[in-house]
Structure 1
Amino acid sequence: MRVAWALVSAWAALAGAGLAGAAPAQGATPAPRFTAEHTLAPGVAYREFTWPASHGTVYGHLVTVDLRAPGVSLDLVYPGAVGARAAVSRLADARGAVAAVNGDFFHISETQHPGVPATGAPVGPAVSGGRQLKAAVPAGQRFGPALPPGAGTEDVIGVGMDRRARLDRLTLRGQVRTRLGTLPLSGLNQYAVAVDGIGAFTSDWGGASRVRATCGTDTQRSAPCSSETFEVVVRNGRVAQVADSPGEGPVTRDSVVLVGREAGARRLRQLRVGDRVRVERQLTDTGRSPLAFAVGGFPIVRADHRLDGLDTVTAAVRTSAGIGDGGRRFYLLALDGGPEYRSGLTVAELAEVMLELGADDAVNLDGGGSSTLAVRGPGESGSTARNHPSGGMERPVANGIAVFAPQQSR
């Protein structure tokens, strides 16, 4: 149901009837026309807007976050396991967030490999509360629109320990120390491990099957599953059990499961029960301050400019996150998926909208039926999706970006 909050009258009147709604100069990018605004908490505002796009007018939902405001923060919310899914409003309410949008693209289906279940795990890296949950799958295994030149699955948007938001890349640096020598680690809680690689699965993964990690290739998601695999369970620093095929079920906190394919499988096959093994892994970024939260998403705006190579043809309901004001302001956007607005935006148009809204940097997040922006207003007991998800109801997703702030009672 469309939210019926009262407008902040003076500002809304200006946005609805003044400059924001004025016809743009010929050749200029039109400005969004704001139709409603509501303060969720000091430093956190919710707005609705329309924008004339190439495939028809879109209706947008926007949350703007001032990271300088006392008590305001952002974090990645997820269902308690990397390989799991839940609705955005449920993820938000479980953590007491005032707003949230869906996050990364994820392993939603598995039509190419009959009998192999979808894991629900996201494509890119994930960091929540400073905890590094997972690394990025190979580029050929990703879901989502084509990447612009220079972008990859390691790209993230997040906030550092210094409370400044930024675009960055998170790269896995890992190794497995054994009596046979040091083996390279090429995966951490991923639904796809690189060809010839070894992936590590921890208790953060959850109980989803690990079979999918050995299917496809680095360049083709639909390629057959590998015929050469091996799994090693390391518990308390020693090999506890081995198997020819990846398994399923929760990984205990004192354990790490290593899954190898091709050359990686051949290396693991040389280990014996009782062997000492030490698994070392770390996601490294390029910033000065470690990322307290991060979610995968490919850049569409950088340094106040739209990136080259973005799709200008295919329109869809979309979600985006952006940064402004030197990393002190954060934007969360989801388009409405109602029947009259379902035509959506191209990725290039999404970039233009984020620029018009004030973002200097922005990423494209999962869209279509996943696009959801949920909000909990002051005095409300739970959050509600403010856009109309295009599937008619909230789709369970892998993760989301949530906003936390102390609310004032009405």
Structure 2
Amino acid sequence: MLRRFPEILVLCLLATAGALVFVKNDDPAGPPAAEQAGATSVHELGPKPDPDDPHTWQTSDQVPGEIAPPVEPGQRALISRTKRLDYSPAPGVTITGWDARTPRGPVRYFVTRVKWRTPGISVDVAHGTRTRRVQPVPDMLSSTPGVIAGTNGDFYDISDTGAPLGIGRDRNGLLLNALDSGWNNAISQNTEGKWHVGELPMVAEVVGHPEIDVTNYNSARVKVDGTGIYDWRFGRSAGWGWTDLQTRNVRWVRVVDHEVVATGTTLPNRTRIQGTLIVARGALPSRRLAELTVGSTVRVRRHLDGEVRMALTGNSLLLKKRQPTVSDDGEMHPRTAVGVDRDTKEIIILVVDGRQTFSRGYTMLELANMMKRLGAEDALNLDGGGSTTLAAQKRGHLKVINTPSDGFLRSVPNGLVVSYNP
């Protein structure tokens, strides 16, 4: 069940072990103005998210975050900052880490820049052998030849199916999961190599039956008054988890070799999916699906709108044409974001630690403003909280670079992976 910075030189004067240290700052000139605040200690927690409204979600775990102190007009955004690391694990890829002191509290963040035109460099969707399979980020990334770095990806049904909430399509042409609308803000690349951040719908149908509105493919849940299609790539069936425990006005049809072989009203649970399982949720969708009787010929089609090479969703657009599209400056959480800088031809991945004494995390507005300072024109919020993980090659090994807030590596269903295969 679904529960749920152009780069310049800045001298930062730091007091470190009694010595004055000057640090070259080749990242943006400090955190965004949204970090300005009048307090360093915060105890108030944010409201509990509405499980029926994914757009209120901050993270998949839905843990309420500390409320950021209010911004005081004219207050300095940055007290000091020091560089933790700066290296290039492969041609066209740089990873930089920072510790910043701000009026709102300390922040630790990591910036990965990927020049996508570098020969041999690829950015793709990382995933397991099944849509609903979850695993730690390093394990998931390790199956990619030439893996250089990667992060967690989409929000997901953390308490039940484990399946991601939106869209996933890898460069091999495999559509892992999708839906027609609702959770469709994605970073994608088309077959011409152009990057896009914005809405990306699925187009699906039961051929010859336009009255059947297909809303989901291998999704964590079937939409209310919608119809979902599932196959073996999803993993084992999820039963009433697909319908948020709704048991009335539900119907399923099993299609094998384009023929209906079985139908029923009790959803199969923890069984292997043979052929295609079509699941209707709601009175009208159930009645329409009932017209597909045993022996009927059925063909199902589904694809993403446009010539899409790869795609991965998050929940909220952070930037569009360098303008912030979020206004939430309330809850602070660990964050993961991805953006596109078309001037420098870079994919920018930002990982912010949070929920820890050394790093308070970011609000959504701070995240958007930081992505803007880093140079992104368009940016997308990925899952955060305990899911936020950055792993990268270092000294010949794939290592976790940040400090996940759970104290251990959370298992997630998908992510972004950067690889280099010259």
**TM-score, normalised on structure 1?**
0.80
For 1:370, the aligned partner's letter is S
The answer to whether structure 1 residue 225 and structure 2 residue 271 are counterparts is no
Partner Cα distance (2:188, 2:210) in 1: 36
Alignment partner, residue 146 of structure 1: none
Structure 2 counterpart of 1:163: 193
Residues 366 and 54 from structure 1, CA distance in 2 versus in 1: closer, same or farther, beyond 3 angstroms? farther
Q: Would you identify which runs of 4 or more consecutive aligned residues in structure 1 move more than 6 Å?
A: 11-15, 21-25
- Structure 2 distance, partners of 1:70, 1:32, is 34
**Conserved? CA contact 1:174–1:281, under 8 Å:** yes
| Distance (whole Å) between structure 2 residues aligned to residue 133 and residue 18 of structure 1 | 41
Which moves more between the two structures, 98-107 or 338-347? 338-347
Alignment of 1:235-274 (within 5 A): 235-248=256-269, 249-252=271-274, 255-262=275-282, 263-274=284-295
**Aligned residue in 2 for 1:127:** 169
Secondary structure of the corresponding residue to residue 354 of structure 1: helix
Aligned to 1:303: 321
How has the CA–CA distance of structure 1 residues 72 and 275 changed in structure 2, closer, same or farther, with 3 Å as cutoff? Answer: same
Cα distance in 2 between the residues matched to 1:260 and 1:311 = 36
Q: Is the 8 A contact 2:133 2:163 kept in 1?
A: yes
Identity of aligned residues (%): 27
Find the aligned partners of 1:317 and 1:102 in 2 and give their Cα distance: 12
Residue from 202, 226, 240 that aligns with 1:211? 240
- Amino acid in structure 1 at the alignment position of 2:105: G
Q: Compared with structure 1, are the counterparts of its residues 136 and 341 closer, same or farther at alpha carbon in structure 2 (3 Å cutoff)?
A: farther
The answer as to 2:352 corresponding to 1:335 is yes
What is the distance in 1 between the residues matched to 2:311 and 2:130?
Answer: 16
Residues matched between the structures, number: 359
Instruction: For residues 279-331 of structure 1, give each alpha carbon's deviation from its aligned partner in whole angstroms, at most 9, with x where no partner exists.
Output: 1222214xxx5233333342101111212x42101111111111102582101
Uncovered stretches (5+) of structure 1, i.e. residues with no partner: 1-10, 110-117, 140-152, 216-223
> What is the CA-CA distance between 1:33 and the residue it aligns to?
5.2
* CA offsets 1:103-127 (integer angstroms, 9 cap, x no match): 0110012xxxxxxxx0111111111
Alpha-carbon RMSD across the aligned residues, in angstroms, is 2.8
How is 1:17-96 mapped onto 2 (pairs within 5 angstroms)? 17=24, 34-53=83-102, 55-96=104-145
Tell me, in whole angstroms, the C-alpha distance in 1 between the residues paired with 2:10 and 2:95: 12
Letter in structure 2 aligned against 1:260: A
TM-score norm. by structure 2 comes to: 0.78
Contact (CA 8 Å) 1:76, 1:295: kept in 2 or not? no
CA contact (8 A) 2:219 2:228 kept: yes
Change (3 A) 1:327 1:193: farther
In structure 2, the residue corresponding to 1:275 is in which secondary structure? coil
Amino acid paired to 1:82: T
| Partners of 2:308 and 2:25 in 1: CA distance | 42
Equivalent residue letter for 1:209: A
Q: Which of 311-320 and 191-200 deviates more?
A: 191-200
Superposed displacement of residue 375, structure 1: 0.6
Q: Distance in 1 between matches of 2:352 and 2:207?
A: 47
CA contact under 8 A between 2:316 and 2:380: conserved in structure 1? yes
**CA distance change for structure 1 residues 123 and 55 in 2, over 3 Å: closer, same or farther?**
farther
- 1:218 equivalent in structure 2: none
* Cα drift, residue 348 of structure 1: 0.3
- With over 3 angstroms needed to count, the CA separation of the structure-2 counterparts of 1:172 and 1:32, relative to structure 1, is farther
CA distance in 1, matches of 2:364, 2:322: 16
